[in-house]
Structure 1
Amino acid sequence: MADAEPGIFASMPRIREISVGDSADLDAHLREATTPFIMRGLIADWPMVQAGRRSSRAARDYIQAHARDLPFAVSVGTPDSGGRLFYDDATGMNFQMLRAKLPEIFARIDANEGAADAHAIYLASIDLHQFFVGLHEANHVDLGARTPIASIWMGTPTRIAAHNDVPDNLACVAVGRRRFTVFPREQFRYLYLGPVDNTPAGRAVSMVDFHNPDFAAHPRFREALKHGQVAELEAGDALYIPAMWWHHVEGLAAFNVLVNYWWRETPRWLGQPQDALNHAMLAIRDLPADEKAHWRDMFEQYVFANGPDVTDHIPEAARGVLAPLTADTAGRLRAFLLRALSR
């Protein structure tokens, strides 16, 4: 691990490592895995990785050569942030969201590289197909029948607070180094999650500063640390993160590039669970206790247990959305909800 490794990581278990052969072997591991794993050198032959091994500038030149002439969204932090893109002391963020062409952004990174007072510069979740020509084709992982979203993340040294994502995630370090700290899904109770409606990047994040945890303010974080795992990845390495696992991500080099793939095994027409949670906060959370208890029972009956007693007494043709959803019935339910929410 790096010499600058903060103290909490020193005693944490390392994320397990596996070896894979061909794409069929990778597919089998991804289908069977329930915990994260690392594959060293999985993408070592990518041209982007080879360019980065020559220099940060070579990596940027290679990437820029494939960029479309479009404005990119970029986060620019303050010099005193230490690369941590997070909340400020009020109700906003300690970074600005700007838009610029990639040559301008890379020129700013060139000018600031090595400067002690440099701003953090971070391009997050940039769609590879929309913003680049040929970059995905020359640098990609064969994921078989999956149809993932392919994104690229680029920037200076950064720290991204622990968060989780609904899809499965294959994160590939193409340039630089990254440290990942991961936690099982249920550890959300001990990570001190922040707001769900005002977030740095769309998902609730841990309010704990992993480089300087305040155990007086966040005492339950000690429990999360008992279940966490950590690893540092070099260029060419890849990490699989199962859906909903929490991960804290740090870019450790002067210039860092990650390519990731998100996919879900469920149909695309299903709704987003986070939307249901948000709606439940709107409709249920502030009800009287006895009514909340009733709705807890209703959710158990219709959503979580969903046993035969829900539908067996209803003619099959009349079960509607109580039957297993299809693209058609899901669409009708979504339209019904939209009408209800617009009243």
Structure 2
Amino acid sequence: MAEVAARVRVIDDVRADALPLDELIASAEPAVLRGVARDWALVQAGLRSTHEAMDYLRGEYNGEAVTYSWGDRDVAGRPFYNDAFTDLNFEVRRGRLEQVLDEIAACADDPRPPTYYVASLLIDTRFPRMRATNDLGLRAHGIDAPPSIWIGNRVTASCHYDAMNNIACCAVGRRRFTLFPPEQIGNLYPGPLEPTPGGQAVSVVDFDAPDFQRHPRFRDALASGQSAVLEPGDAIFIPSLWWHHVQGLEAFNVLVNYWWSSVPAYVPTPMHALYHAMWAIRDRPEREKQAWREVFDYYVFGAAERAGEHLPEAARNVLGPVDETLARQLRAMLIAKLNR
């Protein structure tokens, strides 16, 4: 495993009812919240045994089918691309959770088992009673973040970023997190935007055996990286757009995470703007691109109030704060223009 330069900051003795969310978001740095979920029923079951953790999940499960990734032994726990980066190296299957758990248990002692991964499953849709005894209670902080569950064997989620803030709770098994700040994107060699193993572009570097001849800038990323191993009951705060590589270290692993945005729901994901900018700007002559950089710095990346501060408030329109009404108008305008 590639070694990074630093360890993630650790905050000890954190209680779910006293999460330091304001401080975490303001710091814009990852932090391990040691033991914050240790009292969860699922965590306690897993600490007793893998068998009890699986039985606990079976007991909470409502029987509806789940979607999961399956890969043969050659996948080696790393859902990824084929050699040509034109397709993925695993299958997407659908079945009952009991079947997935039984198959994971059956190959628990296999040194090279097939890969099983139930990813980003909304807890409330399959485990409707589970939050009563397994939850961080973010609603009490004014945050609407329905939790998702991730169930699998020794699976590696290749290094990627999410647009939202994230708190990931290690419920069963241990997990290693390796994180990089957003500015390291060029040193992490992102793969195709479509298709992707899990919805976001991932680094094509094999962290277990990095090829520095093919990916020499990855050394620079390692110098800026941070790592942490989470024990059952620990959680980690991952700020939006921080790259993170996640390895399940046991034969059976369960993680619960919470994503939330720092902006209102009527503000869309910037990924739409990224695709549009690649279409509209990227392939223009360099002089034009530099000029558009200045335009974007003025209207977008500078102080929010700068572009409209010299105008009367009634004349600012989109140069002023965007509220829900203006967001609907902008959406309608963009749809109309794109459909011409």
What interval of TM-score do these two structures reach, taking the shorter chain for normalisation?
over 0.9
CA distance in 2, matches of 1:318, 1:16: 47
Structure-1 residue corresponding to 2:235: 238
Counterpart residue type for residue 95 of structure 1: F
- Unaligned 5+ segments in structure 1 are 1-5
Select 2:134's aligned residue among 135, 139, 147: 139
Aligned counterparts, 1:150-229, within 5 A: 150-229=147-226
Counterpart residue type for residue 101 of structure 1: R
CA distance in 1, matches of 2:294, 2:36: 47
Counterpart residue type for residue 252 of structure 2: F
How many angstroms does 1:37 deviate by? Answer: 1.2
Asked if residue 35 in structure 1 is aligned to residue 29 in structure 2, the reply is yes
CA distance in 2, matches of 1:332, 1:147: 25
Residues 20 and 26, structure 1, Cα contact 8 Å, conserved in 2:
no
Structure-2 residue corresponding to 1:55: 49
How many angstroms does 1:315 deviate by? Answer: 4.0
Structure-1 residue corresponding to 2:281: 284
How many angstroms does 1:102 deviate by? Answer: 1.1
CA distance in 2, matches of 1:261, 1:308: 31
How many angstroms does 1:148 deviate by? Answer: 1.3
Structure-1 residue corresponding to 2:66: 72
Structure-1 residue corresponding to 2:88: 93
Counterpart residue type for residue 88 of structure 1: N
Residues 48 and 174, structure 1, Cα contact 8 Å, conserved in 2:
yes
How many angstroms does 1:229 deviate by? Answer: 1.2
- Unaligned 5+ segments in structure 2 are none
Q: Which moved more, 1:43-52 or 1:299-308?
A: 299-308
Counterpart residue type for residue 73 of structure 2: P
Aligned partner of residue 11 in structure 2, secondary structure: coil
Asked if residue 334 in structure 1 is aligned to residue 328 in structure 2, the reply is no
Residues 301 and 307, structure 1, Cα contact 8 Å, conserved in 2:
no
Counterpart residue type for residue 89 of structure 1: D
Asked if residue 120 in structure 1 is aligned to residue 153 in structure 2, the reply is no
Identity %: 44
How many angstroms does 1:25 deviate by? Answer: 4.9
How many angstroms does 1:228 deviate by? Answer: 0.8
Aligned partner of residue 99 in structure 1, secondary structure: strand
CA distance in 1, matches of 2:34, 2:238: 15
CA distance in 2, matches of 1:112, 1:293: 55
Counterpart residue type for residue 186 of structure 1: E
Select 1:19's aligned residue among 12, 24, 31: 12
Residues 321 and 330, structure 1, Cα contact 8 Å, conserved in 2:
no
Q: Which moved more, 1:300-309 or 1:243-252?
A: 300-309
Q: Which moved more, 1:208-217 or 1:158-167?
A: 158-167
Question: Given the two structures, how large is their TM-score scaled by the length of structure 2?
Answer: 0.93
How many angstroms does 1:309 deviate by? Answer: 5.9
Residues 300 and 306, structure 1, Cα contact 8 Å, conserved in 2:
no
CA distance in 1, matches of 2:229, 2:107: 24
How many angstroms does 1:21 deviate by? Answer: 4.6
1:48–1:335 distance in 2 versus 1, CA, 3 Å: same
How many angstroms does 1:136 deviate by? Answer: 1.5
Q: Which moved more, 1:84-93 or 1:11-20?
A: 11-20
CA distance in 1, matches of 2:205, 2:67: 26
1:171–1:134 distance in 2 versus 1, CA, 3 Å: same
CA distance in 2, matches of 1:62, 1:283: 51
How many angstroms does 1:117 deviate by? Answer: 4.0
1:309–1:188 distance in 2 versus 1, CA, 3 Å: closer
1:325–1:200 distance in 2 versus 1, CA, 3 Å: same
Structure-2 residue corresponding to 1:3: none
Structure-1 residue corresponding to 2:99: 104
Q: Deviations over 1:245-282 (max 9, x none)?
A: 11100001000000011112211110211110111001
